[in-house]
Amino acid sequence: MIEFIDVSKQFNRKGVTTDALKNVSLKVEPGEIFGIVGFSGAGKSTLIRMVNRLESPTTGDVKIAGQSLEKSNTKEIRTIKRDIGMIFQHFNLLDSKTVYKNVAMPLILQGVDKGEIDRRVTELLDFVGLGDKSKSYPDELSGGQKQRVGIARALATNPKILLCDEATSALDPETTTQILELLKEINQTYGITILLITHEMSVVREICDRVAIMEKGRVIEEGTVFDIFSNPKTDTGKSFVNTVMHNEVPEFVLKLLHESPEERHIYRLNFVDDSAGEPVLSQVSKKFDVETSVLFGNITQLQDIPFGNLIVEFIGQGREVASVLSYLDSRNIIYSEVTRDAR
Amino acid sequence: MLVSTDRIISSVIETLQMVSISFIFSIVIGLPLGILLYVTRRGQILDQPIIFNVLNIIINIFRSVPFIIILVAIIPFTRFVVGTSIGTEAAIVPMVVYAAPYIARLVESSLLEVDDGVLEAANAMGATPLQTIVRFVLPEALSSLVINFTIAIIGLVGASAMAGAVGGGGVGDLAITYGYQRFDGVTMLVTVVILIVMVQGLQSFGNVLSKTIRRK
């Protein structure tokens, strides 16, 4: 649906050139919710703006439903934009217009007739739960309500793609949850492809199917939300995942490792899906001559799949521990040794 | 007092005519110029730095000449436009020459106040440059435009009084020919009071109007 092909972007301000994006290639499939996370300045904002041509790449191309933006002229791009709705962190509503007029605006621009506008705006305001606010002005609404107006406006032209630019970053946690639920509903009801950027990993966990992590203008990691959350590969990826998963090795475990004179066998075990419910640890104790001691653990759900994270110490001979590990391998349990410099 | 009440009333009407007519012409010329300044600015909707710079310099030149100089300097032009250089009509020409570039600047600054996010939303919706100005920028700037137009019209009241110095008619004329040249203190006082009332009235009206627009 959206395809970034080797996109690079340089900004030139006062003779100083900065690379905002470096050779980014990504593909967003139709109907999915794709999240891009990164710290501020990572380039995610520039990237999302390439989809509706608020920014243009220095090199590379962006394709929307197979259509190249680089090869399209201004008029064609305007037509493509009708298929792309966008919501913003600061809502970007017209303060001088009523809620009704704000939502109607994209239709007015296209010269849709009044009756049709009326039908569509009423339907949309009902959908976002603001049916009674059509005559209000944006400054009479709460942040969550403003974003609902933004969403209704973005959907006015029946777009195939919805871009969300930090859409919940200015909202409180409860409102954020409500808006995310609304976005999920939009995705499921209308099959709209959603591309969102955020610095909040909880947003990604809540609604995304796939996620890309950006750093310094590059995509450094990409995969399903489950893969990234259960097994982040880069340091930035890990630190993002840790913000919501609390996967970091607790301080006391590291202290244990540091202060203990002899070698200790401490492992992180990740249980996925069915294996999360299985009594693997008790099996290990029965089968092998080791004692297991759970130092830390939690079980969460990722995309409706149970995901367990345990930090376990195996107390026993090195050889026994080695056979425990091969047993874990045979059970498809992801594990990694916790070392002194672990994070 | 050396002047009759009728005379005062007729000069008030003259002043109002001068101010309102020159105000309308100044808006007709200044508003499009201000919009042009706004859209051609670097990084703005049309991004035409050359046009912007040329316009910018021309407007600065007009803006740097004091009104009293414009009044006499463009007499040949005034004569060409209205056929005379004395009287109410003749005062309107230099008043427009004075106020139009001023209004262009005020319009530019009002439009620049519009939140970039609104422009981004317009762009995301695929609005044409004309639609962006008409549907987004102008409505969002309207309240601020009204405040700035109030400033401009008050400037024109001051200019109209000065135009009295060259026989432009109106309240200013009265103040100079009677109050100043014939030492008639009462007339001077009355004209000053009239001007104060006018300015206060216009300012209050402008404030209320701007507030109403903001709320609506």
- Nearest chain B residue to A52 by CA: give it: B124
A88 pLDDT more than 70: yes
Are A279 and A152 in a shared domain?
no
Contact A96 B213 (CB under 8 A): yes
Are A8 and A152 in a shared domain?
yes
The model's pTM: 0.84
Domain boundaries, chain B: 5-215
Residue A305 maps to a domain: yes
A339 pLDDT more than 80: no
What is the average pLDDT across A85-92? 95
Instruction: Write out the residue range of the structural domain in which residue A272 sits.
Output: 251-337
Residues 6+ apart with CB under 8 A from B47: B40, B41
Rounded to 5 degrees, φ, ψ at B116 are -55, -30
Contact (CB, 8 A) for B166 and B120: no
* Chain B residues within an 8 Å CB radius of A92: 115, 117-118, 120-121
Give the pLDDT score at A278.
61
Are A131 and A280 in a shared domain?
no
Are A127 and A44 in a shared domain?
yes
Are A153 and A227 in a shared domain?
yes
* pLDDT category of residue A176 using cuts at 50, 70 and 90: very high
Are A52 and A194 in a shared domain?
yes
Give the pLDDT score at A277.
54
User: What string of DSSP letters covers chain B?
Assistant: --S-HHHHHHHHHHHHHHHHHHHHHHHHHHHHHHHHHHHHSTTSSS--HHHHHHHHHHHHHHHHS-HHHHHHHTHHHHHHHHS-SSSHHHHHHHHHHHHHHHHHHHHHHHHHTS-HHHHHHHHHTT--HHHIIIIIIHHHHHHHHHHHHHHHHHHHHHHHHHHGGGT--HHHHHIIIIIITT--HHHHHHHHHHHHHHHHHHHHHHHHHHHHHHH-
3-state SS assignment for residue A96: coil
- Nearest chain B residue to A95 by CA: give it: B140
Rounded to 5 degrees, φ, ψ at B85 are -115, 10
Point out the domain boundary residue: A184, A212, A244.
A244
Are A286 and A236 in a shared domain?
no
Percent of chain A with pLDDT over 90: 59
Residue A343 maps to a domain: no
Are A90 and A230 in a shared domain?
yes
Tens of pLDDT, residues B43-93: 888 999 999 999 999 999 999 999 989 988 999 999 999 888 888 888 999
Residue A86 maps to a domain: yes
Per-residue pLDDT of chain B (216 residues; tens, 9 = 90+): 778 888 899 999 999 999 999 999 999 999 999 999 999 998 888 999 999 999 999 999 999 999 989 988 999 999 999 888 888 888 999 999 999 999 999 999 999 999 999 999 999 999 999 999 999 999 999 999 999 999 999 999 999 988 877 777 888 888 888 888 888 889 899 999 999 999 999 999 999 999 988 765
Point out the domain boundary residue: A244, A273, A297.
A244
* pLDDT category of residue A342 using cuts at 50, 70 and 90: low
3-state SS assignment for residue A176: helix
Q: Say which CATH architecture domain B5-215 belongs to.
A: Orthogonal Bundle (1.10)
* Chain A residues within an 8 Å CB radius of B128: 78
Contact (CB, 8 A) for B174 and B1: no
Give the pLDDT score at A266.
86
Are A73 and A122 in a shared domain?
yes
Residue A311 maps to a domain: yes
Are A152 and A26 in a shared domain?
yes
CATH number at residue A277: 3.30.70.260
Q: What is the DSSP letter of A249?
A: P
Give the pLDDT score at A275.
60
Tens of pLDDT, residues A188-237: 999 999 999 999 998 998 899 999 999 999 999 999 998 888 888 888 88
* Chain A residues within an 8 Å CB radius of B143: 96
Q: Would you state the torsion angle of the CA atoms of residues A239, A241, A245, A250, taken in this order, to the nearest 10 degrees?
A: -30
Give the pLDDT score at B85.
84
- Nearest Cβ partner for B136 among A84, A91, A94: A94
Q: What is the DSSP letter of A276?
A: G
Element housing A258 (H / E): helix A251-259
Give the pLDDT score at A297.
83
Point out the domain boundary residue: A225, A244, A263.
A244
Tens of pLDDT, residues A121-145: 999 999 999 999 999 999 999 999 9
Count the domains in chain A.
2
A245 pLDDT more than 80: no
Are A182 and A319 in a shared domain?
no
Give the pLDDT score at A325.
87
